[in-house]
Amino acid sequence: MGKKLVEDKSNVLPGDVLAEGDYLSGRGTYKEDGKVKSRVLGVARTDKSKISVIPLTGGYIPKEGDKVVGKVSGIGPSHWWIELDSPYDGYLSLAEGSDEFIDLDETDLSDVYDIGEIIYTEVIKVTSEKDVKLSMQDRICKKLSGGRIVRISPSKVPRLIGKGGSMVEMIKDKTGSRIIIGQNGIVWVSGGEEDLALEAIKTVDKKGHGDGLTEKVEKILNRR
């Protein structure tokens, strides 16, 4: 398989060798001479076959009150770990994960949220130690089944939402797609003309720094 040279969640520098052999190069890394190396200053994230690095600069830093899209990455005795595309994982307790009583002697937590599933959740607290506590208690928080995920820069989220929600509503209306935007830059798209919606969202990510963005996105959407 190869040899992993860093631990999960360890800090790494650009150029650091993270693994050797058959490990796959994920986001924030590159492969050179059979070695996976870091492209950025960040936090290493590892699994059985792939290594990624989440940037410490320009990435998503959780804040209380943020609504985010995350992926269940682990299950504990009475909680779930949620990957947020951030240097810091989210912690979803049983009490915050469901408003119904769950008997742990009768129910497996994977029946509620299983590893790999996508959820829309709220950051309710970030401690001084950067523990990120999440909740599903807000009525708009939910499990997101099916659909497709696209990642944009967290800094472009306001442009994708638009003034008063104008940009995302235009994309929804033109494509018939359901769209949920996480403050962490993860966007969920389901139904309708998904490919067109994804193209429009990626355009906002690439060109959201300039003028005339609405016209550029309209031009794409009117090609349907």
CATH number of the domain residue 15 falls in: 2.40.50.100
Q: Which stretches of the chain are DSSP H helices?
A: 94-97, 157-161, 166-175, 194-207, 213-221
pLDDT band for 224, please (50, 70, 90 cuts).
low
| Full domain range(s) for residue 43 | 2-55
Given a cut of 90, whether residue 27 has pLDDT beyond it is no
Report pLDDT digits (tens) over 164-208. Answer: 999 999 999 999 999 999 999 999 999 999 999 999 999 999 987
**What is the pTM assigned to this prediction?**
0.81
How much is the pLDDT for 15? 95
117: in domain: yes
Residue 54 pLDDT more than 90?
Answer: no
Statement: residue 120 has pLDDT above 70: yes
Task: Look at the alpha carbons of 209, 149, 120, 76 in this order and tell me if their dihedral is positive or negative.
Answer: negative
C-alpha span between 111 and 128 (Å, rounded): 32
Residue 49, domain member (yes or no): yes
Number of domains in the chain: 3
